[in-house]
Amino acid sequence: MTIEEKIYSFENENTVIGIGDASPFYEIEEILKSIDTPFVEKDIKKRIDPRLTYENANSIIAMGLSYDKIFVGQNDNRLRASLSVGAMGLDYHIILRQKLEELKAYAKIEGLVFVDTGPLVDREVFKRCNLGKFAKSGNMINKKLGTIFFIGYILTNERLEPTKKQEDIDYCKDCNMCIKACPSGCIREDGYDYKNCISYLTQKKELDEKERYMIKRQLYGCDICQKVCPYNKKVLKEEISDIDIFYPDIETLLFMSNKEFEKTYKKTASGWRGKKVLQRNAIISLANRPYSKEALDLINKKEKENNEYLSQYIAWAKKRIQQNGIF
């Protein structure tokens, strides 16, 4: 069995694997210079040249890991917030990194593994390895996994045969479902504006009043463009019956200790932003719903802690909840 055959044989029902060469991504250099993307490497040269990260790189092995989930449990009367399916359970960085390390060991190759930690543009790596194309939503579309998957890759010194190019399909065509469904209007025909993306806003350290309205009841992330995409309708979905995983309890989050937060959220993809940002989003979630005395009681209780960071959001939430009521 060749190295390539070993690599492809590692693929399963919820993953896709492809191979590309490790030559520089010169085709995106000017584009990267013209945009300001958050949470990424600022050195453009490192973002386009794999060999500036791993000097012996000759090939890239990309993996897509599906993370689609569906709630099959029972709802209750607790005040809960919405969470992106990508932020549920054990952090995907840990899961995907483990799978890539296992692949590296199985194929007996040398190299470095990256899961949202390397300077390269993950989606361009995925495209280079002939695993998908860009969708109007800004996500990548893969024939098998739809658009709901994480991307990781291995830079290796092996000279591997690249994955054959897939049929040149225009996946989106005249479909505008993601554009129409996006509540903040960040998905447009002429491109994607991350600054208005709800997923980005839930991670932002400070939110103005307009942005607070925009995130609605989202605790972290947003899946709306993913949910309406036709390519995700028949994708394998993990069934989640635990409501606390799918719809976090707001009261529990607002009053948990640092130790409890470490245990509950730190190993999820949302935990990296810290307890205060998630609590802020939970407070905003309470305000962005019809009047609820229970919501106002929670806000009043949280206010007694005199948290400097949360104080402005608490004051705004109290005012908004009261405006939604009979006051």
Contact at 8 Å (CB) between 68 and 30?
no
CA-to-CA dists, residue 92 to 66, 96, 101, 135, 271, angstroms = 10, 6, 14, 22, 12
Closest alpha carbon to 194 in 215, 30, 185: 185
- From the candidates 21, 116, 193, 249, give the one annotated as an active-site residue: 116
Contact at 8 Å (CB) between 122 and 151?
yes
Closest alpha carbon to 119 in 33, 40, 62: 40
Instruction: Supply 57's token pair.
Output: 């790189």
Look up 116 and say whether it is catalytic.
Answer: yes
Cα(319)–Cα(326) distance, rounded to whole angstroms? 12
Q: For tokens 């989202």, what's the residue?
A: 218
Cα(230)–Cα(64) distance, rounded to whole angstroms? 19
Residue 272: count of CB within 10 angstroms of its CB:
14
Instruction: Supply 76's token pair.
Output: 């209750």
The residues carrying an active-site annotation are: 116
